[in-house]
Amino acid sequence: MKRLIAIVALLCMVMSLAACTAPQTSDNKGTTPNMGNPGDPNAYYFTYKGTEIRLNGDMEVILNALGEPKNYTEETSCAFEGLDKTYTYGSFVIQTYPKADKDYVYMFWFLDDLVQTPEGVKIGDTQAAVEAAYGADSYNGRNAYILKKDNYSMTVILEDGVVSSIQYTIVIG
């Protein structure tokens, strides 16, 4: 368990740093990165207590449904104008990006086996369960299954053949 906590803490730190290394603009004209469309029905998602948490989802809607998180942090965004916000709800973390005075889901990741993907995969599942849900083609040959669609990515990380992390993110580009 201590090893899993250390992995999650390291992952959180890397994700925070990755947000700050994202390009300020997608071109030299001062436009913001292409984040896809807020409310995109094709974005990856999961459901928690009857609430759909979707990449590019409106965070205000999620907050109204789930209530206050167990932990909340914010910092000045280095990729967007405004604040990057991080909400921790016991079993998962949501990070947002600001756009037009609203906050949208940029990434989320699971912390334990109390949440699962729509296909039923959760932390602690075997590699065989991941392949049954997503097929072998998405395996990177080392330690992860990486699925991509449109501007979205889902990564299932394995440690010793067991799921240790599930992460979803918008691919900036």
Question: Pick the residue with more confidence: 42 or 17?
Answer: 42
CB 72 within 8 A of CB 62: no
Mean pLDDT score across all residues of the chain: 84
Q: What are the structure tokens assigned to 81, written together?
A: 């104008």
Question: CA–CA separation, 31 vs 150, rounded Å?
Answer: 20
| pLDDT (tens digit per residue) in 76-132 | 988 888 899 999 999 999 999 998 889 999 999 999 999 999 999 999 999 999 999
Q: Is 6 exposed, middle or buried (0-12, 13-18, 19+ CB in 10 A)?
A: exposed
Q: What are the structure tokens assigned to 116, written together?
A: 């699962």
Question: CA–CA separation, 138 vs 18, rounded Å?
Answer: 23
Q: State residue 172's pLDDT score.
A: 79
Predicted TM-score (pTM) of this structure: 0.81
